[in-house]
Amino acid sequence: MSHNTIGHLFRVTTWGESHGPALGCVVDGCPPGLALDEVFIQGFLDKRRPGTSRFVTQRQEADLVKILSGVFEDDRTLSEFGGQVTTGTPISLMIENTDQRSKDYREIRDSYRPGHADFAYDQKYGVRDYRGGGRSSARETAARVAAGAVARRVLGDGIVIRGAVIQIGPHMIDPEAWDWDETQNNPFWCPDKAMAPTWEAFLDETRKAGSSAGAIVQVEASGVPAGWGAPVYGKLDSELAGAMMGINAAKGVEIGAGFAAAAMSGEENADEMRSGNDGPTFLANNNGGVAGGISTGQDVVVRVAIKPTSSILNEVRSITRDGEEVDVRTIGRHDPCVGIRAVPVAEAMLACVLADAKLRHRGQTGR
């Protein structure tokens, strides 16, 4: 990880501001010969697109992705799908910004919105594209989602990545009621059928109150073979933690049992093993699929805490650039619970980290 780049062999560099002409990313190190077209990537972008329900920002962006390089349709080297394939060279992806409404933000140009990056950016850079948060806007995550689509091609169909919201505000789902199919039946990626109406009522109330709500997102990858990752600083869980904490508004990351492991005894926490028909089996997954920084073959399970959206209608006390005290309210179009749209982003980060781990593992061990 280095400023705006993530990954070592599968490297993603994102660029772009919320209200600039476009945003995008360059994916370098993608293996050649993988089927990749705009339709495939667009499917992932549509999952995080604004304006899809009243619980996410009403900004209307088509978020149409263009592939500018790194793919080619050669009648001699067709993909399994008969279309264009990656060539092994950098893949440049661009999404044009079409609905910026920059003047919405003019009035908060000089004031620091609490919880936002405004103050920190000014302290660091001395200059700041204040329109919609500029570089610190969650719009940047569209580029990550696009990169995550490429990562999925690297991982192949044998690895399935899924995500859900498991808590909004104080309301946590019942893990026993988990049903992945349910995540498709409500606008919250909620896997607990009984919880969805509670969240709906809670968020309607939150929105009417001019406030916002936090959330916890859980993403999982199944089908990851044992052996990916590396000791000490290139640990798979270390890379995952770094990637997830880099998501806008993320304040916590845990793997497997996570913070709950602190209260367990050694016996409770041990993922005991037995011999199964298809190799080793584990009797629990407190490790979240990673031991010693290396995948074990179990499902990789990661949770991310997302703070409530900092942009709220209600006034909060702050200061201006010049140090004068003001009350700030943010009247732009914002997600009442940014955690919902964080699901496809966290899935994309998981895909990118795993794709990089796969290539590095293959590089070092030949397997």
How far the first Cα of the chain sits from its last, in Å, is 24
* Residue of the chain from 90, 187, 223, 332 that contacts its own copies (CB under 8 A): 90
Q: Which of residues 132-161 bind its own copies (CB under 8 A)?
A: 134-136, 140
CA 344, CA 348: separation in Å to the nearest integer?
6
Long-range contact pairs involving 317-324 (C-beta distance under 8 Å, separation at least 24): 317/114, 318/111, 318/112, 318/113, 318/114, 319/111, 319/112, 320/110, 320/111, 320/112, 321/110, 321/111, 321/112, 321/122, 322/110
Match 């990351």 to its residue by tokens. 253
* Residue of the chain from 39, 76, 103, 278 that contacts its own copies (CB under 8 A): 76
Per-residue x/- marks for its own copies, 22-61, CB under 8 A?
Answer: xxx-x-xxxxxx----------------------------
Long-range contact pairs involving 278-287 (C-beta distance under 8 Å, separation at least 24): 285/256, 286/256, 286/257, 286/261, 287/255, 287/256, 287/257
Nearest-approach distance from CB 301 to its own copies, in angstroms: 11
Q: Which of residues 249-278 bind its own copies (CB under 8 A)?
A: 250-275
Are 353 and 236 within 8 A, CB to CB? yes
Query: Binding to its own copies by residue 167, rule CB under 8 A?
Result: yes
Query: Binding to its own copies by residue 100, rule CB under 8 A?
Result: no
Nearest-approach distance from CB 259 to its own copies, in angstroms: 4
Q: Is 254 exposed, middle or buried (0-12, 13-18, 19+ CB in 10 A)?
A: buried
CA 104, CA 333: separation in Å to the nearest integer?
9
CA 286, CA 3: separation in Å to the nearest integer?
32
* Residue of the chain from 115, 187, 223, 332 that contacts its own copies (CB under 8 A): 115
CA 94, CA 142: separation in Å to the nearest integer?
10
Stretch that binds its own copies, among 55-63, 175-183, 188-196, 317-325 (CB under 8 A): 317-325
Query: Binding to its own copies by residue 66, rule CB under 8 A?
Result: yes
| CB count in 10 Å sphere of residue 65 | 24
Nearest-approach distance from CB 51 to its own copies, in angstroms: 21
| CB count in 10 Å sphere of residue 15 | 15
Considering the complex, state which of residue 200 and residue 254 has its C-beta at the smaller distance from its own copies: 254
Q: Which of residues 272-311 bind its own copies (CB under 8 A)?
A: 272-275, 279-280, 283, 286-288, 290-297, 305-311
Nearest-approach distance from CB 71 to its own copies, in angstroms: 8
> Helix, strand or coil for residue 79?
coil
CA 359, CA 367: separation in Å to the nearest integer?
10
* Residue of the chain from 112, 188, 189, 199 that contacts its own copies (CB under 8 A): 112
Considering the complex, state which of residue 181 and residue 221 has its C-beta at the smaller distance from its own copies: 221
Q: Is 266 exposed, middle or buried (0-12, 13-18, 19+ CB in 10 A)?
A: exposed
Q: Which of residues 169-228 bind its own copies (CB under 8 A)?
A: 169-170, 206, 211-216, 225-228
Nearest-approach distance from CB 194 to its own copies, in angstroms: 19
The DSSP output letter for 210 is: T
Nearest-approach distance from CB 186 to its own copies, in angstroms: 18
Query: Binding to its own copies by residue 314, rule CB under 8 A?
Result: yes
Nearest-approach distance from CB 208 to its own copies, in angstroms: 13
Considering the complex, state which of residue 181 and residue 265 has its C-beta at the smaller distance from its own copies: 265
Nearest-approach distance from CB 162 to its own copies, in angstroms: 20
* Residue of the chain from 37, 46, 319, 333 that contacts its own copies (CB under 8 A): 319
Q: With CB under 8 A, what is the number of residues at the site for its own copies? A: 163
